Amino acid sequence: MSTGSFKPNLYVLARIIKTLMDNGVMRRTNLAQASGLSYDKLQRYLNWMSERGLIIMDGDGYVRLTEEGAKAYDELVQWIIRYVGSLRLSRY
């Protein structure tokens, strides 16, 4: 499924990546809970991230952050701090 029209919220994207960085490989259901997202919403983000090589999803429902995903997080955090002034990844 192509995610060409999907426009991710950068804070949600950073929250998903941070959760994977903190916890390592996770099942999608656990990642959804830890990220504060519904499973359906998380799946849209994961598809988008997978298409860009930020994560790898296996057939058993596990998600792993790639080296490119970790690099993207660092760049995203730097951008947010530089242009927004602070980073707040609260789920609420």
Distance between start and end Cα atoms, the chain: 29
pLDDT tens digits along 15-58: 999 899 999 999 999 999 999 999 999 999 999 999 999 999 99
The topology under which CATH files domain 10-83 is: Arc Repressor Mutant, subunit A (1.10.10)
Angle between helices 10-23 and 67-83 (to 10 degrees): 130
Average pLDDT, the chain: 89
> In terms of pTM, does the model score above 0.85?
no
